[in-house]
Amino acid sequence: MALDEPKENDSVYDVNGFQFIMDKDFYEKAKPVKVDFLGYGFSISSNIQFGPTACSACGSASNTCG
């Protein structure tokens, strides 16, 4: 997730005062997409399955970083 401006192939969603922008083609691959605000950051879940190296930055060998 990053700050961005909408582009031609993006969909824009306004949810509870937050604006989310997602590429339409990527959304078709990832849906359903759920974004939760945890008070200290966001949790994002989708239909995309990442392999064991997806979380190498956090040192986790599982499908989640946490």
Tokens 């392999």 label which residue?
A: 51
State residue 18's pLDDT score: 84
State residue 23's pLDDT score: 94
- Asked if omega into 52 is within 30° of 0 (cis), the reply is no
Extents of the domains making up the chain: 1-66
Q: Running DSSP on this structure, what letter comes out for residue 17?
A: T
- pLDDT per residue as tens, the chain (66 positions): 888 999 999 999 998 888 899 999 999 999 999 988 888 888 889 998 877 765 555 554 555 555
State residue 37's pLDDT score: 84
Helices (H), ranges, 1-66: 24-30
**CA atoms within 13 Å, Cβ hemisphere of 22:** 18
Q: What distance in Å separates the CA atoms of residue 39 and residue 32, rounded to the nearest whole number?
A: 22
